[in-house]
Chains A and B, each alone.
Chain A
Amino acid sequence: MPANIVAAAKPFAGQKIVYYGGNPDAGALEATATAQFSKDTGIQVTFTQRPNDSTESLALFQRFFQGQSSDIDAMSIDVVWPGVLAQHLVDLSQAMGDDTKQHYPGIIANNTVNGKLVAMPFFSDFGMLYYRTDLLQKYGFSKAPLTWDELGMQAQKIVDGEKAANPNFAGMVFQGKAYEGLTCDALEWIASSGGGTIVDASTNKVTVNNPQAVAILNLIKSWIGTVVPRGVTSYGEEEARTAFGGGNAAFMRNWPYAYTPSQAADSPIKGKFDIAPLPANPPGKPSGTIGGWGQAVSKYSKSPDAAIQYVRYVTSAPIQTWRAIAGGFVPTIQTVAEDAQVNAVLPYLKSVANVERVGRPAGVYGDNYNQASTAFFQGVSQILGGQDAAQVLPGVQQKLQTLLA
């Protein structure tokens, strides 16, 4: 356990803080880490489980902040919330000091709003391509597709071959429902095709309406009904995972969490799949939307220093290594990601190490992020439903630019 942090935290022994975090899957690990922290430092931490749904969790935190309540000290926040919650959170940059240099710069930048570091990276998530190694081999493809067009071609060939035996076989599945997950998927398509990242942060201009974005969205749209099942427009993460995990799809885009259940002993595809970076249409590079959660401290807390030490502790390298091995949580610290033990449990980390991690424009939209994301994913949803991207994107661009004001 991190000795230097424990030493720094001991002065605050005896203080009580309340921490909100961990959905039911992650709860057990966080409870253990919290108990260990209390034992090591003497700071009493009450661990409360937040609601499973992240939108509900955001609403819960906002209600605490609206009342300027001191009932909550530390909390885990989604990677798209720093902009919305920044005004209520403590600036951690001073207290964390050099610790911030350990983490991926992209995530630190994502968590910094107007020069204020409002959350320490806790674990990371990014989109990856899952593919069936046995099917690629069967149809004569030597490796995973490098471009989106190649993926479409491979998927079509596999579907044509498998349809006779399995009429419900899908070439590719992803998160196509009209929700935040679609924003993540669509951002990857656009960024990896040279279409930018929705908003150009340096000029504060919305760039989503461009020829590359139109081209890639129309390409994905053309797959619906042939390579991609119609039903994908109601798929979230779990629907895609069960389709792929049951052996009914050749390709899937999903977060790292889907790896562990698909490798379970009773999984039909155990040992028959692998992970690669998502394809890219040059000049774009393989990209993955940044997901994951961070740890933050409320500025209305009565014990901010104790809470800060807690945040330092749970985001430290030893804890991240333990969480990676015990729970499959992707670390945000480069050295941990390169650790041999971690790589033994998460063998795909090496292959996706150089994927360009792109962030959703949460920081730049601040309070308006949910509206902006909704305008974006509803536009993409209309395109997937059959409309021409060239007709839909100008309207989306205009809505997004208005919200930026």
Chain B
Amino acid sequence: MSVRAETRVQPAPRVVPVVHSKLIQAQTRLAWILLAPSLVVVAGVALVPLLQTVYQSFTNARLASERAVSFVGLQNYINLLQDADFLHSIWVTVQFTVITVAIEFLVGLGIAMVVNSNFKGRGFMRAAMLVPWAIITVVSAQMWKLMYNDVYGVFNDLLVDKLHILSSNIAWVSDPATSIPAIAAVDIWKTTPFVALLLLAGLQVIPGDIYEAARVDGASPIQQFLRLTLPLLRPAVVVTMIFRTLDSLRVFDVFYVMFGSRPDTMTMAIYAQQNIVTFSLMGYGSSVAIAIFVIIGIFVIAYVTLLKVEAS
């Protein structure tokens, strides 16, 4: 018997207009009606203030001031581009983001892989590792600030008095050279568990038998990691990186508690807060907020384009 290979040319698919039945139309209408209240709330709470901020960024509004509010067009944005303080704050924020996200990712991946494997007390470990993430940021930042204190802090006590590794106390928070590493350590301690958790979720989805198959084929653990784990983990990695980068770019609480309004460690969010709350400059402050929004948007677009996740 011979096998006939048939090649048939499929006719080009016709574009058929989709006509829903009356039932589906009624259901769609019902869906919109049921969703309407939520949409109204979201619009009121999120959309309206956003549009208001955009509008205010084109004015010179001031809180509780007798001076008349006038439209200044793009003047706020032009001033912003020349504002040395704002440009420096972008640099501080980006620096902080790159350091923390990179280290958190590497350490978090390691922790996730460890916790993914089978060992006694694994369940307890998974819960316990989340404790730093659970503590309120302001509280943990204040704790760390006390530990970093140059007179009575724990770190200096250990390094100088007990272990004699250093000869004199270091002012971790005040010394410009150690400020960024010090605060990066605080953020890494706090957020690595969160990264580990997200990556763990991604790891759990990977079926175990492919590792068996790879082992049978003679792949080393490193090859398994690079060729199997990482590619299959990519969706989780993208989500984690986007989350962490967005959060880092908007960082406020830990910097505010540790440094206050110190000029050389101001982040974008602190600069916005200073303008809106401390200086009551609603117009200029709004333009700072919109600028932050745009900068973060650029990062998100970059991520999604560079780490294209194809639909499987």
Chain A residues with a Cβ under 8 A of chain B: 55, 59, 61-63, 65-66, 84-85, 87-88, 167-168, 170, 177-179, 229-234, 239, 243, 246, 248, 367-368, 370-371, 374, 378, 381-382, 385
Contacts and interface: CB of A to CB of B under 8 A. Distances in A.
Given A370-B278, A371-B279, A385 B264 contact: yes
Contacts of A370: 278-280
B229 interface: no
Contacts of B65: 87, 367
A109 B47 CA distance: 47
Nearest to B277: A59
Given A55-B277, A55-B278, A63-B63, 9 more contacts: A66-B63, A167-B160, A177-B262, A179-B261, A230-B171, A230-B174, A231-B171, A234-B174, A239-B149
A29 B63 CA distance: 32
A382 B88 CA distance: 14
A367 B175 contact: no
Contacts, number: 86
Nearest to A369: B279
Interface string B130-150: 000000000000000100011
Interface residues of B, number: 31
Given A63-B63, A233-B174, A170 B151 contact: yes
B280 A62 contact: yes
Interface in B171-192: 171, 173-176
A66 B64 contact: yes
Contacts of B151: 168, 170, 229, 231, 243, 248
A105 B261 CA distance: 33
Nearest to A377: B261
Contacts of A229: 150-151, 169, 171
Nearest to B173: A234
Contacts of B264: 382, 385
8 contacts: A59-B277, A170-B151, A178-B259, A229-B171, A230-B175, A234-B174, A246-B152, A370-B280
A382 B263 contact: yes
A65 B280 CA distance: 13
Contacts of A382: 263-264
A243 B169 CA distance: 15
A65 B66 CA distance: 11
Choose among A88, A233, A239 the residue with the greatest number of B CB atoms under 10 Å from its CB.
Answer: A233
Interface in B235-257: none
A62 B151 CA distance: 39
